[in-house]
Amino acid sequence: MKLRNDYETMALERIDDHILLLTLDRPEVLNAVNTQMGLERKEIFESLYVDAQDVRCVIITGRGERAFCAGGDLKERNGMTDTQWKQQHAIFEQAGNALRACPVPVIAAVNGVAYGGGTELALSCDFIYASATARFALTEIGLGIMPGGMGTINMPNAVGERRAKELVLSAKPIDADLAYEWGLVNKVCEPDKLIDDTLEIAHAIGANAPLSVMRAKQSLSIATQLDRGNAMQFELEAYNRLVGTEDRLEGVRAFNEKRKPNWKSR
């Protein structure tokens, strides 16, 4: 399953072979998520799960200067029956699961407002870089629903239970600086430097042994879901799978020969 280059709602760009820049491409509606975007996001990340295609890091950002993603497309949802709403949400659930299962790191480069599902999308990434103009909010309660894209799960992990309750129950937005202070965002960037700064860290990740990055990501992701003993066992299993790889031999050899390693992902 190969990535296409003709998606309707997303633009894909390969940067220096190993970095995939994925741009939410509906700027006329602040990159709001419609059914088609859900289907395309599901397809993209399922493709990467089956075959990473030499991608070592993914960056997700939004088209335009105003918005990363304004959440679900409420114009499309207006008038939906209960059944239609639930069927659409099932697509969004599958897209979210595919993103979280992505074997390579995924970084959110939040370039503007990220409301509702936009904040949930950013939270589902491995970490977040944000423009100084970014705003985050889980707005669902103000619409008569509640976060349904792991917002009530990922937000407490990011900022703690009490701050998560404040954000979810008030539906009020916070700016990038407060998001950084609370631990939601890893770095706040000048708007015109956001992609460059995100690419810098993506290249640093991509320069490391791909199999090691994948195993380490898995271990880090599961660490908060298990008790320390079982998490340690998972870590050791992941570690031991790397001992017999060609890349482990190459990494040590390159260090001793004082050169950059040539990773083979095997």
Residues designated as active site: 120, 140
> Cα(96)–Cα(227) distance, rounded to whole angstroms?
25
Q: Please tell me the chain's helix, strand, coil percentages from 3-state DSSP, rounded to the nearest 5.
A: 50, 15, 30
Q: Is 207 exposed, middle or buried (0-12, 13-18, 19+ CB in 10 A)?
A: middle
- Token readout for 5 is 């280059």
- The residue among 125, 134, 155 whose CA lies nearest residue 30 is 134
> Cα(80)–Cα(84) distance, rounded to whole angstroms?
6
- Answer yes or no: are the C-beta atoms of 126 and 180 closer than 8 Å: no
Instruction: Please name the residues in contact with 180: beta carbons below 8 A apart, sequence gap of 6 or more.
Output: 130, 186, 187, 188
For residue 131, CA distances in Å to 17, 66, 107 come to: 25, 11, 13
Question: What is the per-residue burial (b if ≥16 Cβ within 10 Å, else e) of 97-118?
Answer: ebbeebbbbbbbbbbbbbbbbb
What sign for the dihedral angle of Cα 77, 83, 87, 90? positive
